[in-house]
Structure 1
Amino acid sequence: MIDHTGIGVADVHRSATFYDAALSALGMRRVMQMPGNSGTDGIGYGLDYPVFWIDRFHPHGVKQHTAFVARSCAEVDAFYQAALKAGGTDNGAPGYRDTQHGYPPGYYAAFVLDPDGNNIEAVFRGG
């Protein structure tokens, strides 16, 4: 089981604008910043402790994929709208995914590219 993960970004401030909006739609918030409390080097998102980091230390532009759990289809929709409004690029509108393409039944998801081109997903598996 993964405790935390993260990605490198070209510009922490620019990416934070995107992730603040997109992840808040899923109930996550900034829970740690480096150094001190400035957030210039990195920002950790989560509920009580950081489970997802953006930072300037790791390579950026490698086009990673990260999927976040949503608690409902409405939360997936809210993630998608918030992410687009914060500068993300559509990479798959909210909806049920086709089982013929390998998705399990009831897989409701949305995909957005972040400012560095990473594929960020919100998924609800209860539909």
Structure 2
Amino acid sequence: MIDHTGIVVSDLGKARRFYDAIAKPLGLATADNGEESFVFGKSAEEPIPYLWVGITRPSYWVDGSRAGLNQMHVAFIAPSKQAVDEFHRAALSAGGRDNGKPGPREGAGQYYGAFVLDPDGNNIEACVRGQAAL
């Protein structure tokens, strides 16, 4: 189980538009977290797990790091295949780039997912497993 993860972006406004757009199909939300970041998760009532998205340079970065340099992969649980499809459409409409159209994935069993690159090139996925993926 993930508690939280975070990514650094180069343009907070572009990132916010992207994550606001993909939140609805996944049943998630964005929330302000200061002037240099926001969080992406379920709700204020259920704050963990979450994704921190911001422009602040993390203290743990090594020299030469920058937004988009070390591509991150984050997969979000979707409630249905329809939600995965909606996620993909919303992401592309909000400036994301296709990195794997919605569909089953070979060798993954009962799995249906879609991949997009966010405005900084991070690989963002929505997926559904089990019977809902068939």
Q: How high is the TM-score relative to the length of structure 1?
A: 0.87
Q: Partners in 2 of 1:24 and 1:12 — Cα distance?
A: 19
- Structure 2 letter corresponding to 1:106: Q
Matched, 1:42 2:37: yes
1:95 is aligned to: 103
The equivalent position to 1:83 in structure 2, one of 91, 105, 109, is 91
Q: Partners in 1 of 2:33 and 2:38 — Cα distance?
A: 6
Q: Partners in 2 of 1:91 and 1:98 — Cα distance?
A: 16
Asked if the contact 2:23/2:30 (under 8 Å) is kept, the reply is no
1:23 is aligned to: 23
Q: CA deviation at 1:95?
A: 0.2
Matched, 1:52 2:51: yes
Aligned length, in residue pairs? 118
- Listed as ranges, the gaps of 5+ residues in structure 1 are none
2:119 is aligned to: 115
Q: CA deviation at 1:34?
A: 2.9
Q: Once the two structures are aligned, what percentage of the paired residues are identical?
A: 47
- Listed as ranges, the gaps of 5+ residues in structure 2 are 59-65
Q: How high is the TM-score relative to the length of structure 2?
A: 0.83
Asked if the contact 2:19/2:30 (under 8 Å) is kept, the reply is no
Q: CA deviation at 1:117?
A: 0.4
Q: Partners in 2 of 1:88 and 1:18 — Cα distance?
A: 7
1:3 is aligned to: 3
- Partner of 2:20, secondary structure, is helix
